[in-house]
Amino acid sequence: MRAVIQRVSEASVTVKGDIVSEINQGLLILLGIEDDDDHQDVGWLSKKVANLRIFGDENDIMNKSILDIKGDAIVVSQFTLHASTKKGNRPSYIKAAKPDVAIPLYEAFIKQLEKDLGKQVGTGIFGADMKVSLLNDGPVTILVDTKNKE
């Protein structure tokens, strides 16, 4: 699994003109899933996201997690995170999992993150043409890959 984790002041996901998720301070997580991902990846990534200390403390040092600030989260599926641009100019998405693999892992990640955060997590709609709006706070953007454990 690959995740782009963005610290936001606000974020929303719109599908066909309707807002399907909206948060204030928290994290917008773009999630890419590949065929060999499994539930161990789900658990590791959820724990990493919940405990990642990227929010400012009283001295404005990134020392607090989303748990500490009681922030919100939105998770959006994004197969393009597994794009290969090695050959030519048209990205290949061959490493991205097909829906029969990706959807159950996407849903498992959302459920695990809700459990780890102790609150509901906003989502996009898997496979939909989504418009994602965010106000990146910092900006702070972190890339995490479960295969490299970083």
Hey, which residues are catalytic here? 80
Which tokens go with 92?
A: 């290949």
**Closest alpha carbon to 25 in 61, 65, 77, 58:** 65
Radius of gyration (Cα) for the chain, nearest Å?
15
Q: How many residues does the chain have?
A: 150
Which tokens go with 48?
A: 């990493």
Amino acid at 26: G
DSSP strand pairing (72-77 vs 26-32): parallel
Say if CB 31 and CB 108 are below 8 A apart. Answer: no
